[in-house]
């Protein structure tokens, strides 16, 4: 079961057998919990949620209102810059390359992954995604839960939510960064360097032409400043996705008066 900052009061009969669970306060919730409790015969009452319907739980629902669409709007601007970069210098990922996705050390913030979590709810796919996250956590597998590897082809595959991928995935291989002197430098990946060295050289030398390119530090700060509470802290990507799903639950699924 997922760990979560949750305060649960468990009612017991005289024989100390659990007979009901009442939720008095949740800072976050996994949708599958309620159905799991019900499957083992524990009624779930929403008294605590009703008590706080005008308080902390409504704040949770308001917490992320509008943020997914705002972050996605910035992503669309970044994609336009990346597209111009690709056209100008021929800088592209090799077809079906999944080397970066297969990396277990990818980190993201909860804020940059909100559009992805929002899309998962829109497709009604939160339950299967949460199950995969739980399985990977139990197995100690930190690779992205949404990456679909091609069997028999190492480092090849695709993202199942490519259009909604977070900033770190969106800019990997195509971002510039400012060095200690404030000058722009291309920050690309090993695979692109090895397979298309000419394109990398064109990008490195052509930046002086004044093309408006995506700069990672600036893009990150622009998004992070939208909500400092979840915008700066980087987490392993699966953990960030789980937390984003938890936070968006109140916006997309939960009824603050009745728990079903």
What averages of pLDDT result for each successive group of 10 residues across the chain (260 residues)?
Answer: 36 36 35 43 37 43 74 95 90 84 93 96 95 95 91 81 94 89 89 91 85 91 95 96 92 47
> What pTM was computed for the model?
0.71
Domain shared by 81 and 174, yes or no: yes
The Cα 36–Cα 260 span in angstroms is 12
If phi > 0 it is left, if psi is from -120 to 50 it is alpha, else beta; for residue 210 that is left
Domain shared by 24 and 42, yes or no: yes
Domain shared by 241 and 189, yes or no: yes
Domain shared by 134 and 98, yes or no: yes
pLDDT in the model for residue 64: 58
pLDDT in the model for residue 197: 92
- Provide the residue range defining the domain that includes 216: 67-251
If phi > 0 it is left, if psi is from -120 to 50 it is alpha, else beta; for residue 148 that is beta
Give domain status of residue 50, yes or no. Answer: yes
Helices and strands counted in the chain (H then E):
12, 9
pLDDT in the model for residue 254: 57
Return the residue matching tokens 């394109």. 199
Give domain status of residue 260, yes or no. Answer: no
44-65 as b/e: b if 16+ CB within 10 A:
ebbebbeebeeeebeebbebbe
Give domain status of residue 258, yes or no. Answer: no
CB 31 within 8 A of CB 130: yes
Domain shared by 143 and 182, yes or no: yes
CB 41 within 8 A of CB 225: no
Give domain status of residue 256, yes or no. Answer: no
The Cα 140–Cα 191 span in angstroms is 26
Domain shared by 96 and 108, yes or no: yes
Domains identified in the chain, total number: 2
Give domain status of residue 1, yes or no. Answer: no
pLDDT in the model for residue 71: 97
Outline where DSSP puts E strands in the chain. Answer: 6-12, 18-26, 44-45, 107-109, 147-149, 157-159, 175-178, 184-187, 234-236
Outline where DSSP puts E strands in 46-169. Answer: 107-109, 147-149, 157-159
The Cα 2–Cα 48 span in angstroms is 21
The Cα 62–Cα 18 span in angstroms is 34
Q: Please state, in angstroms and as integers, the Cα–Cα distance from residue 22 to each residue in 1, 5, 51, 259, following that order.
A: 18, 15, 12, 10
Question: H-helix or E-strand containing 240?
Answer: helix 237-252
Domain shared by 107 and 153, yes or no: yes
| Residue closest to 213 by CA, chosen among 87, 71, 85 | 85
Give domain status of residue 59, yes or no. Answer: yes
């Amino acid at each position: 079961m997922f760990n979560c900052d949750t305060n649960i009061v468990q009612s017991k009969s005289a024989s100390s057998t659990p007979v009901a669970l009442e939720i008095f306060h949740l800072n976050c919730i996994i949708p599958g919990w309620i159905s799991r409790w019900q499957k083992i015969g524990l009624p779930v009452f929403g008294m605590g949620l009703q008590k706080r319907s005008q308080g902390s739980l409504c704040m949770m629902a308001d917490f992320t209102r509008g943020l997914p669409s705002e972050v996605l709007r910035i992503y669309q601007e970044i994609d336009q810059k990346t597209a111009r970069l690709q056209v100008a210098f021929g800088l592209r990922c090799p077809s079906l390359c999944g080397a970066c996705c297969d990396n277990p050390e990818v980190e993201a913030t909860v804020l940059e992954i909100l559009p992805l979590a929002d899309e998962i709810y829109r497709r009604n796919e939160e339950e299967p995604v949460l199950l995969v996250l739980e399985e990977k956590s139990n197995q100690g597998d930190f690779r992205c839960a949404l990456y679909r590897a091609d069997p028999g082809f190492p480092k090849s595959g695709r993202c199942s939510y490519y259009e909604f991928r977070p900033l770190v995935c969106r800019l990997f291989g195509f971002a510039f960064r400012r060095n200690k002197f404030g000058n722009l430098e291309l920050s690309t990946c090993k695979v692109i360097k090895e397979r298309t060295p000419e394109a990398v050289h064109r990008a490195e030398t052509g930046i002086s032409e004044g093309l408006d390119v995506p700069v990672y530090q600036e893009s990150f700060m622009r998004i992070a400043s939208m909500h400092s509470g979840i915008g700066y802290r980087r987490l392993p990507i699966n953990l960030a996705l789980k937390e984003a799903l938890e936070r968006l639950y109140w916006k997309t699924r939960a009824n603050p008066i009745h728990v079903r």
